[in-house]
Amino acid sequence: MKRQRDEQEKMDIVWQTPANPPQRHDYIFRDGIRYVRPYYFEFISHAKNRWAGKTIVDLFAEEFEGRPHDYYVSAVKAGRIQVDGQIVPVSYVVQPSQKISHFLHRHEPPVMALNVEILHQESDVLTVCKPASVPVHPCGQYRKNTVVGILQAEYDLAPLFPIHRLDRLVSGLLILARTASKADNFRQQIDSGKVKKQYIARVIGVFPENEQEVNVNVNYNAREGMSTVEVEGSRNGNMPLKGKAACTKFTRISTNGNHSIVSCEPITGRTHQIRVHLQYTGHPIANDMLYLSECVNERSTVGLSADRAAAKSELPPQPNLRETCIDDPQNDSSIDFSIDPKCTNCPNLAPKGYDGREEGLWLHCVRYAGPDWTYECPYPPWASI
């Protein structure tokens, strides 16, 4: 009887791959948040040298600590973790370069339920106003809850090739090519320095009236998920600076005495460059919990990226899926989905660790201009002071 139930479970599961396009019915809207219905997905990686010699269960328990050891034991036994396409015993020892597959019930992180507004559409170019909290393209735990995924699901626009990126919490102009050749053309212009970019930010304090140019190295720490600046003489002895050269020009647009709206022109394109350069001037973005000076040393989970917050198991889980939805013309009131008994996130809609307290940064891309083209995006509401 148990064997029949196991076989029925395997037959009912439809595994998705990146080739499965997002659909409108994949999304659930509730309380201003866009969720993705959990779905079955195959994660693929190839065994790194440091994984060699470990049992398949120990490998997952040590490298992917988000789930308990017992889960990985049951997943291997059930064939949800495979090596080179084969079911293996829990004692199986992994070898370098082997294909490791993890079939699981995927719960994507939620994002704010803001429209991806199409600004300009041509045969080979599309520009949109990217909402804050939504990543540009599939990355990490995000696949359908991305600008590219939403445009495909809601407007049937594919393929799309983003020609630049905006941080997930940043809003504003996003340019997408509709052909690979057009994308290459755009990127060549960007790489050759022929493209000018303009952002606006709302910062703490009264920003200086005259143009300010910050020309200091930026060093990004991927483990910490943040950047720092380095200036000559900031390191001991004659040790070379580790950061990359970075330059940003700032011009005050307006101020109310407490905050200022500042135009930001990044000459280079380093990770978090505008954010850390504004911190360096003493005028960090007013709601940037990662770079507000008084918060840098004692950062809480509040204000961190959702990706990092997911690792904080002490955060409360999302409300149960079967709670009542808000009235929303886009809202799907039938939000039940099949509960996976092996899933460590079910019956919640979002992964553990996402508490809905995230907000967009007061940083917005307003303009990109090349040799013979210009695209712009309207200012956001917070820019009026």
Q: Of 365, 40, 370, nearest to 173 (Cα)?
A: 365
Lowest pLDDT segment from 75-84, 117-126, 293-302: 293-302
Q: What span, in angstroms and rounded, lies between the C-alpha atoms of 336 and 29? A: 13
358 against 203, higher pLDDT: 203
> Which pLDDT belongs to residue 233?
61
Contact of 104 with 80, CB cutoff 8 Å: yes
Query: Given 167, 307, 332, 355, which residue is catalytic?
Result: 167
> Which pLDDT belongs to residue 67?
87
Q: Is residue 336 among the annotated active site residues? A: no
Q: E-assigned strands of the chain?
A: 27-30, 33-36, 39-46, 81-83, 86-87, 99-106, 111-112, 117-121, 125-130, 161-162, 171-177, 196-204, 212-214, 217-221, 226-230, 248-255, 259-266, 363-369, 374-376
The answer to whether domain 2-106 has CATH 3.10.290.10 is: yes
Contact of 102 with 63, CB cutoff 8 Å: no
**Domains in the chain: boundaries:** 2-106, 116-303+358-383
Contact of 286 with 203, CB cutoff 8 Å: yes
Question: Can you state the angle between helices 69-77 and 56-63, rounded to 10 degrees?
Answer: 140
Q: What span, in angstroms and rounded, lies between the C-alpha atoms of 21 and 44? A: 18
Q: Of 143, 30, 107, nearest to 340 (Cα)?
A: 107
Q: Of 252, 251, 234, nearest to 243 (Cα)?
A: 234
Q: Of 211, 274, 216, nearest to 245 (Cα)?
A: 216
Give the chain's length: 385
Q: What is the mean pLDDT of residues 168-196?
A: 96
Q: Could you tell me the pLDDT band of residue 368, with boundaries at 50, 70 and 90?
A: very high
14 against 112, higher pLDDT: 112
The model's pTM: 0.81
101 against 319, higher pLDDT: 101
Distances (CA, A) of 366 to 166, 266, 363: 12, 12, 10
Neighbours of 281 (CB within 10 A): 16
Q: Is the pLDDT of residue 236 over 60?
A: no
Say if residue 201 is exposed, middle or buried (CB neighbours under 10 Å; 0-12, 13-18, 19+): buried
Q: What is the mean pLDDT of residues 304-332?
A: 36
338 against 347, higher pLDDT: 347
Which tokens belong to 1?
């009887």
Q: Is the pLDDT of residue 101 over 80?
A: yes
Q: Is the pLDDT of residue 270 over 90?
A: yes
Q: Which phi-psi region, left, alpha or beta, contains residue 10 (left: φ > 0; alpha: ψ -120 to 50)?
A: alpha
Which tokens belong to 306?
């959702």
Q: Would 2-106 and 116-303+358-383 be classified into the same CATH topology?
A: no
Cβ-Cβ contacts under 8 Å for 223 (sequence gap 6 or more): none
> Which pLDDT belongs to residue 359?
85
Identify the architecture of domain 116-303+358-383 in CATH. 2-Layer Sandwich (3.30)
